[in-house]
Every structure is written in structure tokens, then in C-alpha cells.
A and B are shown apart, each in its own frame.
Chain A
């Protein structure tokens, strides 16, 4: 009797294991959704969006929900929010999914990565689904970032920029009046002086948000300084980095970054909420940060133009939607891209997040962009925006440039670091120039 009971025990444990394995096996992968004609005529699509700021994510969720309601019985989109983590985590995820059939039907990506995804045939062209007249309405910088070798691959709902936030109280105390129009923007020298003046025990003048990690952020920020100083990251035909990313203009730009740290105007080991909590008087950040400010009731913030060297330049390029080359339903997927970038979407995301809209017509619906502080963003988007270079070697260029930026911040040999970036980028370009 004892033995029989024991055997039943063994057998049932084995059965349980087999059952569990089967159960695990079935509930897996997020490959493009299969439509099941027997069930209904509804096309099921999978979509990825990166984990941005909270309100941005909420926007993606509600807009897709509305899309599903409006297309009930025809298209149903399943949205997944993918954490973007530090550095390149979201891009790593896309790599992971690409290899065979793991991609969703629709995905969003940071502007400069479009070229790489287009050249590796991750993305399908949007050209046949988007009207020419509709294309006219998008900001030129948005069209530029979504286009590779003459074809459109991605469209976004929002533009971006880089601005100088300041703590009103602290600047007033120091008797500093920040510029309120583009032509009064500070020069680098003025900016550095003010930052130094604002630094004192327990507080520093400006945060460059080093805590965001050695990744896209540093390239987004650092490249603006290079361009403003008359430099470039790549040759005009985008086939060469040597002699551009490591040219004197770039070296000087990164040396200026170093000066901010050397002066103790900026802190190399800053923490994420230094500006919000008054540990930094100014912050160079993107407008996406605004949506988080309302949690800090004591913070009285203002926004002004980026300082400049030889020319006024601001950063541009933001997350955009494209359709996967693996999707079985490109037409329906393109519908989703259109929906996410239509006027209503662009107006709404802008209202929610403070990011500038991607469509020029949307600016008209957003009167707040005619007044300070958001006027800063509009002025910069329409007048000084400069896109990061569209090159399939962007992942390498961005990573190596970010490393050079960090090297500069820490007072290392800037020329050497940028030479390394040039060399590695050129090697990577060879792969695509063949």
C-alpha cells in the first residue's frame, strides 16, 4: 500500500512537470499577430512603444484604445510598452526581436535610428500609404529624420528640442535675467559665467544630466554643441566620419563642456532630480521633462534658449512610428501610424507632454506656444533645429561619440577620444558602403 501511494506521488509529480512545461511553451513570444480568419475578419496587430515619461506612455495607451474603438471589427492593436532603460536598452530589444520574426507590426524608434533600421530591412517604406499633401504638413525635420535614401520610413507625433531650464528664484537672487527671445540668447561665454556665478556650496550652476548614462542622451546634447561651433559629425554625403567628428570645431565644443565641469559649475556625478529639488540652478534638458515638474510644488521654473557659439542650433528628432518589414498587414499597420501622427494626436501629445507637435498645423491649435515659456521650443523648432545624421552606422557613431563626450567631461584628451569615434564609425560605415 505504501509503495503504491508513493508511486502515485512520483507519477503525478512527473505529470505536473510535463503539464507545466506544455503550459509555458504555449504562452510565448510576441511575433507579429496572426489573424485568424475563422474567428472574425478583424486584423490583429502588435505594436511596441518605448517607455518614455509617464504622460507620454499614457498618451500611447489612450490613443491606441481610441483607435481600437474606431476600428472595431476591422483592426485591433495590442500595444506593449518596452522599457528604454539606460543607454541603448530599447534598441537592444529591437535587435533581439529582428533576428527572425520577433518584431511587432508597428514599432516606434528614436529618429536617428531610422536609417539603420531601413538599411537592415527592419522597416517597410511608408510612401505608398501617406499622401503627398499630408507630408507637407509635417515639420521638415520630422520628414528628414524619417527618410532614408529617398524613401519615407517613419513618422512621429512630436518633435523635440533641447532647452535651458532655470530656477526663477535662484536666478533672481543672483540678479541674472535669462533671455526672453531667440536673438538675445546667451553665448557660450555668458552661459558659462552665469553658471559659475550660480554655483555655491551644496548647489551647482547647471546640470547636464550625466545620470542619464553614456548613451543617446550624451550624443543628443553633445552634437548640438558641435554644430553650434560650426562642426559636423559626418561628411555631407554621410559616408565619412574622419575629418568631421574629430575636427577642431568638435574638439573645441567638447572642451567647452569640460570647462563647465572644471569650473565646478556642473557636477559629473549628478542625481536625477537635482534641478527639481534645487540642487542645480539650471538644467539643459528636453521639454519632455516638463510633465514631471508638477510634482514639485516648490519649484518655480522657467525656460530659455540654448546658448550658442558660432551659430544658433538646437537639437531635433524624436520618437517616430514605422511599420515592420515582417508584417503581414502593412496597410493596416500604416493606418495605425497615420492615426498616431494625425493632427488630433499631435495636438494631444503636445498638450500632455509639453513636447512640440510634429505638424505645423498643430501649432495653430496650441496658442500656448506663442508665449513664454513654450515659445522657446517653437522658436527653436522652427528656426534652429538640426537633425542628427541619418546613417546606418548611427548605433556605433552615437555610442562612440557619447564615450568621447564623457571623456571630455572628465578632462581626458578630447582629440584622442574623438579620433577613436571617427575610426570606429568609419569601420562600421564600410559594412554598409560596400
Chain B
């Protein structure tokens, strides 16, 4: 055996070993704090685990899932979640895109305009939710006071079951649009300048440039932004928790809110886990669609 060969064997072993050593901390943590809890949630969803009486836990089959189908509150929460998603995703994406197009202009002080739109992103969702609870107060709130000057309103906002979700949508768009705007801005700057120049020479209007150069150039980014907004929106929790406690009349109860409420307020870990699994499946389906769509856009 030549010393050289001996050395490569040892080296290969060392490299292989260091592969495990390097990845072990992350893998162990992911296993213990993500994979294991996922499996536990699945298991608990078939039991009647009560948080305060763990030793009385029994296996009850699909009872929790059967209960879900009959639970009007669950169906309502599912509907509310979809309603929020359906409103916030297009609204936030379009707002963000509009802002990005506006601040992509080469104007003096544009940096400060950009900063203004990102400012709400830098506040946290909890802070924003508290602030807007005051703003939305129908009798002593800023929103009705301001709208009153222009002769609109008064609206009931969070105290009205029909207006509550749209009110939360509006606030969420205000808070989050700056973030997506940044992503769009980066996408806009990737569109080659010469395309616009060529179009100008051909005498294209600003509108035509937008339709035929900007939007197609942003296609990937639009799909991406839409989908991350979509997934984030399904997790709606902080706003209803802080602003409405799920009310009025369950109008702002969401899937994640129910996971929290059933699990911690009512201590019904089993039922809460069943809701969590349903939520997980929904996110999973969205993610699979996302990957498919992204692949398609990359190929096209």
C-alpha cells in the first residue's frame, strides 16, 4: 500500500465524517423541534389528549376529524381564512407593484419616498394591530374622524362582522406592501434598460411599455410574491388576537386562531391537533402548487 493511497482513504473518511459533523447540529435541531412535533401533532389528532390531564389520554380514532366536519365554528374559521387570503393577496400584490413602479422613477428624493413606504414594515404586526384598533374605533377613532371630513362613513370596522375582515385586510396591506415592493423593485431593476430605449424609439407609450415589457419581465417575481403572500396570509393570527379576539361573532376566527384557542384556552390538545393537521395539509397543497408554478415559469 502506497503512503499516498493511504492518505486519500484517510482524507475521504475525514471529509465524510466532517460532513456529518457540520450538518449534525442543524439536523438534530430540525428533527427535535420540527419533524418530531409534526409527527406528534398527527398522533395527538387521533386522541382526546387534554392538556391538564395527560394521563387520561385515550385513542379515539377519527372522532376529532368527524367533529371538525360538523363544527360550524371550524367551517366559519376556514371560510374566514380563505376570505382574508382572497382579499389580501391580490390587493397587497397590486399595491406593492404599483408602489414599486412609482418609486422606480429616477426623481430627486425618491429614496425618502421608498423609506416612507417601508416604514410600516419596520413596525411589528403587534404594534400595528394595537395602533389600528384605536384608529378603527367607530366613536373615538381616527378613521371615522378623517373620513367624516370628506363626508364618508361612519363605518363600524372591527365591531361589525362584515367589515371586520376587510378592515384587517386594509391594515395588513398597509403594513406589508413595502416588503413586497422591495422585491418588485429588485425585479424591475433586472429588466434591461435597452428594451425600454428600443420601445421609445419605436414610439411606444408608457402604458404599452408597462404591458409589453415590464409585466412580462416581472412574471416570475409576481408569481413568487403572490405565493409567499398567500402562504403568510393563511397563518393569520396576530391581527385577530390583538384586535378582535376572533370576534365579533366569530367573524375573524381563523384556522390558526382556532389551533391556539382549542389548544390553550380549552386545553383540548387532540382537537387542536386535528385542526393543525388540516391547516398543514392546506399549506402543503399551496406549496406543491407553488413549486409547480415556479418550475413552469422558469422553464418558459
A interface residues with partner B (beta carbon < 8 Å): 86-88, 91-92, 95-96, 98-99, 120, 122, 213-215, 267-271, 395-396, 399, 403, 406-407, 410, 412, 420, 428, 431
Contacts and interface: CB of A to CB of B under 8 A. Distances in A.
A95 B267 contact: yes
Contact of A395 (B138, B159, B245, B267): B267
A177 B50 CA distance: 52
B248 interface: yes
Given A396-B266, A403-B247, A98 B139 contact: no
B52 A120 contact: yes
A399 B265 contact: yes
B245 A215 contact: yes
Closest 7 pairs (CB-CB, A-B): A120-B52, A269-B159, A269-B138, A214-B247, A271-B140, A214-B245, A92-B264
A86 B245 contact: yes
A323 B51 CA distance: 20
A406 B137 contact: no
B74 to A, nearest CB: 12
A205 to B, nearest CB: 14
A91 B249 CA distance: 22
A395 B139 contact: no
A98 B53 CA distance: 10
Contacts of A431: 48, 50
Nearest to A396: B266
Contacts of B267: 95, 395
A431 B267 CA distance: 12
Given A87-B245, A120-B53, A403-B250, 6 more contacts: A95-B52, A95-B264, A95-B265, A98-B51, A214-B245, A269-B158
Interface string B136-175: 0111100000000000000010110100000000000000
A98 to B, nearest CB: 6
A120 B139 CA distance: 43
Interface centre among A213, A215, A410 (most CB of B within 10 A): A410
Nearest to A210: B159
A274 to B, nearest CB: 9
Contact of B51 (A95, A268, A270, A399): A95
Contact of B139 (A95, A214, A269, A428): A269
A86 B247 CA distance: 13
Contacts of A96: 264
22 contacts: A86-B245, A95-B52, A99-B51, A99-B52, A99-B54, A214-B246, A268-B159, A269-B138, A269-B139, A269-B156, A269-B159, A271-B140, A403-B247, A403-B250, A406-B249, A407-B249, A410-B159, A410-B249, A412-B249, A420-B72, A431-B48, A431-B50
A354 B247 CA distance: 33
B139 A406 contact: no
Nearest to B50: A431
B55 to A, nearest CB: 10
A108 to B, nearest CB: 18
A241 to B, nearest CB: 15
B28 to A, nearest CB: 15
A412 B50 CA distance: 32
A32 B159 CA distance: 42
B94 to A, nearest CB: 31
A92 B139 contact: no
A395 B266 contact: yes
Contacts of B72: 420
A215 B245 CA distance: 9
A98 B269 CA distance: 14
Contacts of B52: 95, 98-99, 120, 122
A87 B72 CA distance: 22
Contacts of A412: 249
Contacts of A99: 51-52, 54
Given A95-B264, A98-B51, A99-B51, A271 B247 contact: no
